[in-house]
Amino acid sequence: MSRIKQFDLPDLGEGLTEGEILKWLVSVGETIELNQPIVEVETAKAAVEIPAKWGGQVQAIFHPEGATVEVGTAIIAIDTDPGAGALPPADSAPGTESTGDREIPPADGAIEPGLIGGPAPGGRTAVLVGYGPRTTVAKRRPRRTEGAGSGPGPASGPSMATPPGPRVPASAGVPEPVDPRGESSTASPVPVTANPTPAPSVGAKVLAKPPVRKLARDLGVDLVAVTGTGPLGAITRDDVLRASQDETVAASPSAGPDDGTAGVGVSSFGPDRERRVPVKGVRKLTAENMVASAFSAPHVTEFLTVDLTRSVKALDRLRAQPQWRELRVSPLLMVAKAVLLAVHRHPMVNSTWAGDEIVVKDYVNLGIAAATERGLIVPNIKDAGRLSLLQLAEAMTELVRTAKAGRTAPADMTGGTITITNVGVFGVDTGTPILPPGESAILAVGAIRKAPWVHKEKIRVRQVATLALSFDHRIIDGELGSAFLRDIGAFLTDPEATLLAWT
């Protein structure tokens, strides 16, 4: 049995094909235990810690932090019996065979030793007669040495480029390529200047790429007068910008006082002033889901501004209770309770479009959108409709804490039936949210602000917020959507009286 075992990146959720290595929790040479967390990996749904399948000593780490690895690819090698003696140096890449007594186990599903195609005694491979393994080694063709003739030159030596012009025979004094030791391959080398950059004359052909030529035209720079610093004297983008700035500085003393151009430099717009952010992980999955939802489900959004003054006062009374003091109690808790009660009154809102049928669900997996450092995620509280208000507060507190720490499990972000997104925490009044795939309704909660409001036939300062409900118009028509949003607003306006009337 092999001592060295390679640990492949496992499938961390349904449909996931890759993951990004965020942080290694172990290092080469470190002794680890069974089920000890060894690496933190971000998938398209969450960041999770992966435990070790074996105890032992870490022999090799195959991928650095920040690398994206496909599921099933080896990421680490572990010596499960480090006390059995020294091993030859480990290979630097997974899947390679080693020499000596070191043995790398085959991957899952590989052919067992002794069978056709599997390893055989003596380091051979068991094969059928006439179908032996390939014994040759692929060789790279030597690179062509620019400017040193038409034939390929040695790849290890630096190339000696010559300026464009008539071809000169080798016997006429053209230097030969220099070997890695810096000695010429001929007995009488002719000294040459490194990186020759002959000054182009009028009418001479200028070496410059099309983007560089366009930049020169835009800035009014004559390429013939520019000295190139690139290979073979080619003019680069920096050369053009430098020449443009020199011309501006030279022209500024002679410019009139009223021309408005004195001291003004030329702005550059290009890759040097741009940043590129890779689209991966949570952000990539969110983008795919939003595109799929926006162009598959016909969205309708309705708005309702409500008076939350009594809900805010009810929360203050709850916070004074001993069992509530350690919990996260916010107006979002009252909104969540309102949604659950409204779903109970209008079950069709809690459904999914399935083509030839509508799947109405008698359970509510309440999704709460959470903004994290890795992007927007929507974990959900399973069967939230059966929880008491205290249990719902506990579940929401744990959900937010786990999401902020980046520890939300993939299972907690699947199976949602209806979602709440709180844009009010960012000071936003409202929005038009996009449905998560497979859901038929999502509620956006705006910021709670003090505003003049007609209360008991008088203008009072009240706590007011705007709700926005987006729904799938294939399932929810205007009447149903309006009734659902109306009931949510009614509960938030007077939670005590509404709760007594509905239960």
Question: Is the same domain home to 292 and 246?
Answer: no
pLDDT confidence bin for 360, thresholds 50/70/90: very high
Q: pLDDT exceeding 90 applies to what percent of the chain?
A: 36
What CATH number is attached to the domain comprising 378? 3.30.559.10
pLDDT confidence of residue 129: 39
Choice between 284 and 200, residue whose per-residue pLDDT is larger: 284
User: Is residue 497 domain-resident?
Assistant: yes
Contact 76, 29 (CB under 8 A): no
pLDDT at 152 over 90: no
Strand order in the sheet with 18-24: 47-51, 37-42, 18-24, 68-70
Question: Is the same domain home to 451 and 317?
Answer: yes
User: Is residue 180 domain-resident?
Assistant: no
Could you say which of 122, 151, 181 is where a domain stops?
A: 122
Rounded CA separation 460/453 (Å): 5
User: Is residue 485 domain-resident?
Assistant: yes
Q: pLDDT exceeding 70 applies to what percent of the chain?
A: 70
Rounded CA separation 260/128 (Å): 85
Question: Is the same domain home to 214 and 96?
Answer: no
Segment 471-485 shows an average pLDDT of: 95
* DSSP bridge pairs for 466: 305
pLDDT confidence bin for 181, thresholds 50/70/90: very low
Contact 354, 339 (CB under 8 A): no
Question: Is the same domain home to 98 and 216?
Answer: no
Question: Is the same domain home to 85 and 214?
Answer: no
What CATH number is attached to the domain comprising 101? 2.40.50.100
Active site residue 344: no
Question: Is the same domain home to 473 and 365?
Answer: yes
Choice between 158 and 354, residue whose per-residue pLDDT is larger: 354
Question: Is the same domain home to 369 and 477?
Answer: yes
Question: Is the same domain home to 291 and 418?
Answer: yes
pTM to 2 decimal places: 0.55
pLDDT confidence of residue 381: 96
Rounded CA separation 310/12 (Å): 45
Rounded CA separation 106/115 (Å): 13
The whole-chain average pLDDT of the chain stands at: 77
Segment 73-83 shows an average pLDDT of: 88
Q: Which of 174-183, 333-342, 418-427 is predicted least confidently?
A: 174-183
Element at 450 (helix H, strand E): strand 449-455
Residue 207 belongs to domain spanning: 200-252
pLDDT confidence of residue 202: 45
Question: Is the same domain home to 50 and 106?
Answer: yes
User: Is residue 30 domain-resident?
Assistant: yes
pLDDT confidence of residue 315: 93
Which residue from 284, 300, 301 is spatially nearest to 292, judged by alpha carbons? 284
User: Is residue 224 domain-resident?
Assistant: yes
Which pLDDT tens digit goes with each residue over 391-430? 999 999 999 888 888 788 888 888 999 999 999 999 999 9
Could you say which of 212, 234, 252 is where a domain stops?
A: 252
Question: Is the same domain home to 292 and 434?
Answer: yes
User: Is residue 405 domain-resident?
Assistant: yes
Rounded CA separation 218/416 (Å): 54
Question: Is the same domain home to 469 and 340?
Answer: yes
Q: Which of 299, 344, 346, 473 is catalytic?
A: 473
Domain count within the chain: 3
pLDDT confidence of residue 212: 81
* DSSP bridge pairs for 274: none
Question: Is the same domain home to 331 and 428?
Answer: yes
Distances (CA, A) of 379 to 57, 284, 364, 419, 492: 36, 17, 13, 9, 24
Contact 459, 451 (CB under 8 A): no
Segment 180-191 shows an average pLDDT of: 42
pLDDT confidence bin for 164, thresholds 50/70/90: very low
Strands 358-360 and 47-51 come out as: unpaired
User: Is residue 181 domain-resident?
Assistant: no
Could you say which of 122, 141, 159 is where a domain stops?
A: 122
What CATH number is attached to the domain comprising 234? 4.10.320.10
pLDDT confidence of residue 174: 38
User: Is residue 158 domain-resident?
Assistant: no
pLDDT confidence of residue 331: 94
pLDDT confidence bin for 337, thresholds 50/70/90: very high
